[in-house]
Amino acid sequence: MAELPSKVHITSHPIFLRIRGPSVYQDEKKKMWLHHVMDTEGVLQVRLRQEDIPSGHIALTTSPETSSTMPFLWTRHPGDKYLDYMCRFWRIVHHIKEEGVEEMMLELMDDS
């Protein structure tokens, strides 16, 4: 019997991601996403990974570091991209589900 693939590409992306704490975003379905910022050869990328985090373990205010570097809100736009509150576009590099865990990579677009 053939094994099912462990990595699946997701085409249904969250409508919005709102910051809920220093490293946590929440989507419209109340799913929590941990973020990790990467600067790869001058390109700003953010890896978001869906995690089950009890709401009591999330600080409801943002830290100064987070608020100065990360958008407090991303809104889904056509063409596999998000718009942040500073009117910058972020393209979806990938959105996968591997072994039951979703991961999405966003990249700040040059023309933003």
Q: Which residue has the higher pLDDT, 56 or 27?
A: 27
Neighbours of 57 (CB within 10 A): 9
Q: pLDDT digits over 52-74, tens only?
A: 776 555 554 444 444 456 889 99
pLDDT of residue 66: 47
When pLDDT is averaged across residues 31-45 and rounded to a whole number, the result is 89
CB atoms < 10 A from the CB of 102, how many? 19
pLDDT of 30 over the 60 cut? yes
Domain 7-49+60-108 is classified in which CATH homologous superfamily?
TCL1/MTCP1 (2.40.15.10)
Q: State the chain's mean pLDDT as an integer.
A: 84
Q: Domain-by-domain residue ranges, the chain?
A: 7-49+60-108
Which residues in the chain belong to E strands, given as ranges?
A: 7-9, 16-21, 24-27, 32-40, 43-51, 73-77, 81-84, 89-98, 101-108
Amino acid 41: pLDDT: 83
